[in-house]
Structure 1
């Protein structure tokens, strides 16, 4: 079956051979006809005699060559046609293969883009949810839990750089191993051999695709199934504030796209962390200011009380007459100490409430009210509003008194200064100064002495 393929390698040879064989029929037939016309026997000798004497046969003898050549040309054209067909088929095969490869690449790229889109959406959701946290600890805990739930990593942990920038301290982790490490006070020295220490020092992300080949892998006894690890810097501008450490139980689990997406998440979390830190700082400053204002308020009211400006420190009204009191009721003291409204029942149908008078978070007094049976909640709200306005009025009166006292001091100083300035001589200046200062202070003794030479 393979013999024809070996004999006729192409159409040109096959056509030439067939043409030559077909052309050979013409000289054979002509020779046989001449032998028959001359009445000679059909032998090779007769054929030779006829061929040597008839010039027409000589021309006919060239038929195999001529027909074979013509057939060869036809075969060559057929070869060229077949070759073009084969080339076209090969091109079609190549185009089909390229199309299939392109379609496969498009499918794979589409899947990659879909995964990337999903991860970017998840990153946005995580950043948005985490940013809603009110303090740094809550933010880190929530972000770690969201990363763990959405991406399904083996381990997630947040390291924060300490104030001395010497250690990266593990602060938050949603995993049991991470919580155990936090309870043990786990921290990594900045710049130490290891992925977290390296990132904390350089601020550049690092990925280990097979932790079995990384001798610097730490905490293997707490995270025995770790096969891949990725550490991402948490940076605010150029300052490194921490490291996001992510580990997987699969080798080569992180691609370049994963690093880009999670670094984007790390950047957004770092910004949210900085906002939370600033918010905590502002809140603490406000608390400190309120505390300072509270102490100032207490000291100011203490000064007012000691100055004798307040004749009576309290009054009691029984719907008939007003009486001054020197000490507040026991329930009033309780309300001032608690800083909130307190109430009690005296065994009858009446109910007693005590509401503290507060300025800047500090209690400066209390209002005690005995309520009749059947009172409404609106009654208590009305009393509370009245107490708030009372506190404002008392503070306004205190501020007015302080302003008046400052004005008196300024006036006294101005009077003393004017008197001193009008004295023409040293002795007159000293006499005027000691006299005016003494008069401004009331029953006080004043002495003035300037240095003199020991010689």
Structure 2
């Protein structure tokens, strides 16, 4: 009894009753045949063949010859009108008669009927298992708990219905036009396959055509005919079906055998195509559920950060929590927050996740505003920028501390038209950024921008309050000075403390000489006291001439600046005016570029008004004190003169007191007779 398998006869059972053998000698386990020739020869039923029979297939003659037979009858056993087996009855003693052959013909017919029934039972059982499998697919996800478990359960179902073959689950992302492989089972183990773009492979053909495909022989040649390419080892048998949702492909299911051909049939393909539709619904629903949960978590993150913003003004603590939540709940590789420096030239890293973030913070990592980097562009333009695949972006510069980055996005931190910095997030997966998570990140960035602005506003308010307290202290201290010099020295010392170490100068005006003279200074390498500046010349001279403040961002760009200290980068000067009279100029200088703001100008203007009043009062006090001293001296002199009893004593006392009071070396009093005075008057 031979089993027909493609172009091979496999011996199922054999016996030699004439020799008492349970197995025929001289026969190989497999015999190559021309299947079409054998099938045509047995088309009408049993065929009685001999060595001399010209019509019998060559293989039958070889069997008769090799077994030393006189003749043999070959009986077909069919299944679904296809030749499934061949029964051979041979004789070495005499030709086989029809009467002898008939029982074997009946046996072959019974075997055909039995095979048909067995096949029907098998098909019914398989169909039942297919229906059961399809019905249970939807329940698999709830029992599995996660998609990987679902894929393993799906593999078990496919093994149960079709057999143990390699399985691939492919998912298609239309936005990135790429295919990812969340599950790949090959030779008894799950392997990892990197995502790849939609191309010319079999998986891509399924997604493009939206039609199932089965290759059971000459797979490599048939694939080439379809215009596809083989990646890796070509399969011998391959079957795939697209996963469609509303006729839109979301992926494909694929099973293959790398060793054998013809392991799948049309019934398998029909079932597999139906199964792919069921799995597509499950995966799509799971993706929607996962997306909903992810959105809810992201919104919860935004709400949590919003609560923290409203309840805390500790920006450092808030940023640490924010980047941690963003990386954890958005499943990103890295998250960082950059804030612009005061001049707005660099975006400086303020907070970041992981060891890489810690290293960048320690190094003071900063990126030029408007540079070609992602953060540089965003901080300069105030627009979000997304790089979905860093390996394909020519302008992307990799950070050696973050070698696994495959996608990066940066969102500006802005309040109104003001750009405060940028939120930078990175992922190890290309095309990780969707409209939904970018929208959530934008909400977070807006909230963080408000937090930064609130913190800055609070810090400025506290600083202004502290400055005004110090200004009050400066004014009070200056006003309590016993001399003008003491008042001015107290003012420059206190103002330097308030401004954090800047250079401070107070110049007083000499209206007659049209000059400004430094009366008090601090912070200069050389003593600036007694330095003179013409009114109208330099920064302080300009302020004195125009009687209005002048704030210079960069002194190297202002021609009015007269260099006195080599390290000065910015300057602020305000006039000291009291009752419309220019008394002088208050001047401060810093080694930082653009160190002074409008608030500083307002603060110094307020202090300048107070100092002008202090200076005017000090001068008035000195005038009053000098006048009092003169009146006291006059009183002392006149008192001594009154105590004299004769003219000579009066004159001597007067000359002595005048010499003492004026500090003169000698004094002379000349008295003329009355006659000479009268003569002079008459003339």
Shorter-chain-normalised TM-score: which range? Answer: 0.3 to 0.5
Higher CA-based Rg: 1
More strand by share: 2
TM-score between both structures, scaled by the size of structure 1: 0.43
Q: Which has the higher contact order (CA 8 A, sep 6+)?
A: 1
TM-score between both structures, scaled by the size of structure 2: 0.29
